[in-house]
């Protein structure tokens, strides 16, 4: 899938280890809707003035139990 290729390339450029990249891709494939929701909520928080990292952490904590099920 072309999206997976682009995501892998982006994560590699950020220094994410290959095993973590593969795990992340598999998690997204299992529940893409969850990750769409997470991305949308992060975007809303960033537009509201929060920095990207803080917004991501806050939203990820909200979905922590769902993410653990996918891992």
CA 42 to chain centre: 10
Q: Are residues 13 and 24 in the same domain?
A: yes
Q: What number of H helices and E strands is found in the chain? A: 5, 0
Residues 43-68 have pLDDT tens digits of 999 999 999 999 999 999 999 999 99
- Range of the structural domain that residue 38 is part of: 31-71
pLDDT at residue 3, as a whole number: 80
pLDDT at residue 5, as a whole number: 86
Q: Are residues 3 and 25 in the same domain?
A: yes
Q: Are residues 43 and 58 in the same domain?
A: yes
Q: Are residues 56 and 39 in the same domain?
A: yes
> What pTM does this model have?
0.77
CA torsion sign for 8, 12, 18, 21 is negative
Residue 1 predicted with pLDDT over 80:
no
Contact 35, 7 (CB under 8 A): no
In which region does residue 49 sit, left (phi positive, over 0), alpha (psi from -120 to 50) or beta (all else)?
A: left
Residues 12-38 have pLDDT tens digits of 998 999 999 999 899 999 999 999 999
Distance, CA of 31 to CA of 24 (rounded, Å) = 11
Q: Are residues 24 and 41 in the same domain?
A: no
């Amino acid at each position: 899938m072309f999206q997976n290729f682009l995501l892998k390339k982006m994560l590699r450029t950020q220094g994410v280890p290959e095993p973590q990249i593969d795990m992340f891709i598999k998690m997204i494939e299992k529940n893409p809707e969850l990750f769409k929701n997470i991305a949308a909520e992060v975007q809303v928080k960033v537009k509201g003035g929060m920095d990207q990292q803080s917004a991501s952490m806050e939203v990820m904590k909200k979905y922590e139990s769902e993410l653990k099920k996918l891992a």
